[in-house]
């Protein structure tokens, strides 16, 4: 069978971790099985769908590197397809137009509430043959009586639901748009989706979708309802747990690979391995290794994955994601080698390398005030000494530095701290010997002159 999966977000807000994890699982599953990933935008809720959210979905997926093979299909542009299928269901006796007004329905709901009963649409228009003229209608699915609706979930086994638990649910709304359950089922049929991998919160929708599949074809995809992600207090994951949109993690300096790695590992495992390259994930991912119980989001572990991934990246890959212009005198490779091991995120990495963007740097007032006149003369003296010796290797630099300390009866930090500030404009940059090596005698001299005269 051809493997075809879909990622079907609703563009109704920011792209959150749970939704992205669904995208990742579908992506990895399609890659692992040589299948296709369809991107489908479920924008049938006209009131809640926004263009901003649609754009955010696309740009976040692109940034993450989750590329899809087909789409994006927008459900709002496929209304004729859903209406054609609805018509087919009406003709085959599986659906009907319901002309009950909103007031009528609200009244029935209130009545059920008063009687402490669960509201169930009482099939008012199910068997009426004479439609009223010019009245708005919805299309409802005729839910069969006393039927067992069966499906198999690869994680949860065989599931059976009694059709008496469902009512005649709406498939086409009053505005002519399909409901989620209808559009999703029709698209799964039309797009020949072989595997539906989505959040566990959709488990309760599946019986309705099975009824629609059964009424139209003998198609049924294989289902996998993935467990939810919870916060560390075991409640539904939200902002309060530090879990915001993908964009906010991007702004906080998380790499796409860290997000994919951490989210994939939340709910899926491959032995004890924690850190994966994208190729490893594509190779190892399997639905069989998904976890049935909910996963707990842990921001500290997420940050650890990010810093580990930063260290593991090759310099070219980091460079392409950094947006830093190195001056020609500074070797970006060398700079990254010394900076990436000390950075826990990309913001820190960028900040620690800003001193590589220009020949000279001007200290801001707060840092400038940290260096007194005595220190300035010491730095000038060091600069003359250094340029004279002009050490090359790491060992030579170290010896030169230490000899200067001994000759001037200085302690390491008495020289290293002001020197680091003057050379990098920060108090916490990579090791001082590495900085000296990276900058070279000429630039060292220029920066000391600039800030110590
Ligand atoms: N649009 C649904 C959501 O965003 C997708 C459900 C599905 O995958 O069937 O939750």
3-state SS of 25-81? HHHHHHHHCCCEEEEEECCCCCCCCCHHHHHHHHHHHHHHCCCCCEEEEEHHHCHHH
Which ligand 1 atom is nearest residue 19's CA? 4
Minimal-distance CA residue to ligand 1 atom 5: 8
- C-alpha 49 to ligand 1 mean position (Å): 13
Local structure of 398: helix, strand or coil: helix
- C-alpha 349 to ligand 1 mean position (Å): 36
Strand partners, 38: 6, 70
Minimal-distance CA residue to ligand 1 atom 3: 9
In this predicted structure, the answer to whether residue 133 has a pLDDT above a threshold of 90 is no
CA-atom Rg of the chain in angstroms: 31
Nearest to 289 by CA among 4, 25, 3: 25
Tell me the per-residue pLDDT of 216-267, one tens digit each, with 9 for 90 and over. Answer: 998 999 999 999 999 988 888 877 776 788 999 999 999 999 999 999 999 9
In this predicted structure, the answer to whether residue 94 has a pLDDT above a threshold of 90 is yes
- C-alpha 198 to ligand 1 mean position (Å): 7
Tell me the per-residue pLDDT of 43-52, one tens digit each, with 9 for 90 and over. Answer: 999 999 999 9
- C-alpha 42 to ligand 1 mean position (Å): 7
Which ligand 1 atom is nearest residue 201's CA? 10
Tell me the per-residue pLDDT of 401-426, one tens digit each, with 9 for 90 and over. Answer: 999 999 999 999 999 999 999 999 98
In the chain, % of residues over pLDDT 90: 85
- C-alpha 333 to ligand 1 mean position (Å): 44
Q: Which CATH class is domain 239-315?
A: mainly alpha
DSSP state of 266: S
- Mean pLDDT in residue range 100-122: 91
Domain with CATH 1.10.1160.10 in the chain: 239-315
pLDDT band at 389 (very low <50, low <70, confident <90, very high): very high
- C-alpha 9 to ligand 1 mean position (Å): 5
Tell me the per-residue pLDDT of 363-375, one tens digit each, with 9 for 90 and over. Answer: 888 988 889 999 9
DSSP assignment of 312-376: HS-HHHHHHHH-----TTS-HHHHHHHHHTT-SSHHHHHHHHGGGSSSS----HHHHTTS-HHHH
Tell me the per-residue pLDDT of 38-80, one tens digit each, with 9 for 90 and over. Answer: 999 999 999 999 999 999 999 999 999 999 999 999 999 999 9
Distances (CA, A) of 114 to 105, 120, 198, 434: 14, 14, 36, 76
In this predicted structure, the answer to whether residue 332 has a pLDDT above a threshold of 90 is yes
**CA atoms of 241 and 295, how far apart (whole Å):** 13
pLDDT for the residue numbered 367? 87
In this predicted structure, the answer to whether residue 290 has a pLDDT above a threshold of 90 is yes
Say how many residues make up the chain: 453
- C-alpha 184 to ligand 1 mean position (Å): 8
**CA atoms of 102 and 422, how far apart (whole Å):** 72
Mutate which of 57, 187, 195, 198 for ligand 1 pocket (most atoms within 8 A of beta carbon)? 198
Residues with CB under 6 A from ligand 1: 8-10, 42, 184, 198, 202
pLDDT band at 134 (very low <50, low <70, confident <90, very high): confident
Mutate which of 7, 197, 202, 223 for ligand 1 pocket (most atoms within 8 A of beta carbon)? 202
In this predicted structure, the answer to whether residue 130 has a pLDDT above a threshold of 90 is no
- C-alpha 296 to ligand 1 mean position (Å): 21
| Ramachandran sector of residue 243 (left: φ over 0; alpha: ψ -120 to 50; beta: rest) | beta
Angle at 257 between CA 252 and CA 259, to 5 degrees: 55
Nearest to 45 by CA among 87, 19, 86, 76: 76
- Mean pLDDT in residue range 386-413: 95
Which ligand 1 atom is nearest residue 184's CA? 9
Domain 79-226: CATH superfamily is: HUPs (3.40.50.620)
Domain with CATH 3.40.50.620 in the chain: 79-226
Mutate which of 180, 186, 187, 229 for ligand 1 pocket (most atoms within 8 A of beta carbon)? 180
Nearest to 311 by CA among 260, 270, 346, 281: 346
- Mean pLDDT in residue range 291-298: 92
pLDDT band at 438 (very low <50, low <70, confident <90, very high): very high
In this predicted structure, the answer to whether residue 135 has a pLDDT above a threshold of 90 is no
- C-alpha 188 to ligand 1 mean position (Å): 12
pLDDT for the residue numbered 368? 87
Domain with CATH 1.10.10.350 in the chain: 319-453
Fold of 319-453: Arc Repressor Mutant, subunit A (1.10.10)
pLDDT for the residue numbered 321? 93
pLDDT for the residue numbered 131? 79
Instruction: Give the residue with greater pLDDT, 428 vs 424.
Output: 424
- C-alpha 116 to ligand 1 mean position (Å): 31
Which ligand 1 atom is nearest residue 188's CA? 9
Q: What's the chain's average pLDDT? A: 94
Please list, in sequence order, all residues whose beta carbon lies within 8 angstroms of the beta carbon of residue 322, skipping any fewer than 6 positions away.
Answer: 346, 349, 350, 353
Angle at 212 between CA 79 and CA 2, to 5 degrees: 85
The reported pTM is 0.91
Which ligand 1 atom is nearest residue 42's CA? 1
- C-alpha 40 to ligand 1 mean position (Å): 9
pLDDT for the residue numbered 128? 79
Tell me the per-residue pLDDT of 169-225, one tens digit each, with 9 for 90 and over. Answer: 999 999 999 999 999 999 999 999 999 999 999 999 999 999 999 999 989 999 999
pLDDT for the residue numbered 442? 95
Cis peptide before 72 (omega within 30 of 0): yes
Mutate which of 5, 9, 208 for ligand 1 pocket (most atoms within 8 A of beta carbon)? 9
């Amino acid at each position: 069978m051809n493997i075809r999966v879909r990622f079907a977000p609703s563009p109704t807000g920011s792209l959150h971790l749970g939704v992205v994890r669904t995208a990742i699982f579908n992506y990895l599953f399609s890659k692992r099985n040589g299948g296709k990933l369809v991107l489908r935008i479920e924008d049938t809720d006209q009131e809640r769908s926004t263009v901003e959210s649609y754009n955010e979905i696309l740009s976040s997926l692109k940034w993450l590197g989750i590329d899809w093979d087909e789409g994006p299909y927008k459900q709002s542009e496929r209304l004729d397809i859903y209406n054609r299928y609805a018509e087919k269901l009406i003709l085959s006796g599986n659906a009907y137009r319901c002309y009950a007004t909103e007031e009528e329905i609200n009244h029935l709901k209130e009545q059920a509430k008063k009687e402490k009963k669960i509201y169930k649409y009482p099939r008012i228009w199910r068997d009426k043959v004479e439609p009223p003229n010019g009245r708005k209608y919805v299309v409802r699915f005729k839910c069969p009586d006393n039927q067992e609706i069966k499906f198999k979930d690869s994680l949860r086994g065989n599931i059976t639901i009694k059709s008496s638990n469902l009512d005649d649910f709406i498939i086409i709304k009053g505005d002519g748009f399909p409901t989620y359950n209808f559009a999703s089922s029709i698209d799964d049929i039309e797009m020949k989706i072989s595997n539906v991998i989505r959040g566990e919160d959709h488990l309760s929708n599946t019986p309705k979708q099975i009824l629609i599949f059964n009424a139209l074809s003998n198609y049924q995809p294989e289902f996998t309802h993935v467990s939810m992600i919870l916060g560390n207090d075991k409640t539904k994951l939200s902002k309060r747990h530090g879990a915001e949109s993908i964009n906010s993690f991007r702004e906080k300096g998380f790499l796409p690979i860290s997000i994919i790695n951490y989210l994939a590992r939340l709910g899926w495992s491959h032995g004890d391995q924690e850190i994966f390259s994208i190729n490893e994930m594509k190779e190892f991912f399997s639905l069989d290794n998904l976890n049935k119980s909910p996963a707990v989001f842990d921001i500290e572990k997420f940050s650890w994955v990010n810093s580990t991934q930063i260290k593991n990246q090759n310099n070219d890959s980091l460079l392409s994601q950094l947006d830093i212009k190195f001056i020609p005198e500074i070797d970006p490779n060398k700079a990254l080698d010394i900076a990436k091991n000390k950075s826990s995120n990309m913001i820190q990495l960028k900040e620690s390398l800003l001193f590589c963007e220009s020949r000279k740097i001007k200290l801001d007032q707060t840092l400038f005030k940290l260096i007194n006149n005595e220190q300035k003369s010491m730095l000038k003296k060091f600069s003359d000494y250094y340029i004279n010796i002009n050490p090359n290797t790491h060992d030579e630099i170290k010896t030169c530095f230490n000899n200067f300390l001994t000759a001037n009866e200085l302690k390491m930090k008495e020289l290293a701290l002001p020197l680091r500030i003057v050379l990098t404009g920060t108090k916490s940059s990579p090791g001082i010997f590495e900085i000296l090596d990276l900058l070279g005698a000429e630039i060292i001299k220029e920066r000391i002159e600039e800030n110590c005269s």
